[in-house]
Amino acid sequence: MSKRNTQQRRHTIMALLTQQGEVSVDHLAREFQTSEVTIRKDLATLEASGLLLRRYGGAVPVPQEIVSDDPGHKVSGRKQAIGAAAAALIGDHQRIIIDSGRTTAAMIAELGNKRGLVVMTNSLNGANALRELENEPTLLMTGGTWDPHSESFQGQVAEQVLRSYDFDLLFIGADGIDVSRGTTTFNELIGLSKVMADVARDVVVMVESSKIGRKIPNLELPWAKVRYLITDDELSDDTASQIEIHGVRVIRAPFKD
């Protein structure tokens, strides 16, 4: 099924949900003449984007109190735009790493029409989202020691697992960007990030423009390790040029919030 058809189906699901107040998997499967597995993956993707809540056998709208009290529940337009731009770099049958983080997770919903992907991640949430994709990739987990700060697996076991593979692309976030040095982080557990970069042919950093120029002490990846920086289109031309001097291709994704 084409990406366009998938997007149209999901748009129609949301329209039906607005009209009816709830939708069921079996009714939607009959309506779209597709499998219940496909519908469940649609609902999982829409839930991950903060657009609905799944219930047994179907879905309901997001309660208004959640929308009002937790503005961060829905993936921001910036993150969605960055995620879509990142996914556009991926071809069928590629081997990729997706590091933990909200910005990197925003690309997962865009991967449903990629075929034959092999995806390694250190994030449980990321792994669950990957399993719901229409074309479910071959999923690899790093294992290791659970770090509650980053909500990801870290440590020597994870590093050893990664060194057993090679990948086409690494997608990784950052707490900040030092324009002259590279990516920075508050987290002192940076060993896994370095190994991820070592085993990937190209490194793609995904970060919102508000984090570029933040002064954070821990250098994570120097510019020499980074091939692409994907951010939103509020990054200035001057700052983009300062980063591109280091051989990094800067992609500024237009967004709507």
* pLDDT tens, residue by residue, 111-124: 988 999 999 999 98
Q: DSSP 3-state assignment of 35? A: coil
Same domain for 63 and 95, yes or no, is no
Alpha carbon of residue 4 to chain centroid: 20
Same domain for 30 and 88, yes or no, is no
Whether this prediction's pTM lies above 0.85 is answered by no
Q: Measuring CA to CA, which residue among 111, 121, 58, 64 is closest to residue 88? A: 111
| CATH code for position 8 | 1.10.10.10
- Which H or E run contains 187? none
Residue 173 contacts residue 207 (beta carbons within 8 Å): yes
Same domain for 157 and 221, yes or no, is yes
Query: Can you read off the two tokens belonging to residue 158?
Result: 């994870």
Same domain for 120 and 240, yes or no, is yes
Same domain for 142 and 191, yes or no, is yes
Which of 56-60, 77-81, 110-114, 230-234 is predicted least confidently? 56-60
Question: Of 17, 34, 69, which one is at a domain's C-terminal end?
Answer: 69
Alpha carbon of residue 133 to chain centroid: 13
Task: Give tens-digit pLDDT for 173-186.
Answer: 999 999 999 999 87
Quote the CA–CA distance of 234 and 62 in Å, as a whole number.
30
Same domain for 9 and 53, yes or no, is yes
Quote the CA–CA distance of 242 and 253 in Å, as a whole number.
18
Quote the CA–CA distance of 43 and 39 in Å, as a whole number.
6
The confidence score (pLDDT) of residue 57 equals 87
Question: What range defines the domain where residue 46 resides?
Answer: 3-69
Question: Of 69, 90, 107, which one is at a domain's C-terminal end?
Answer: 69
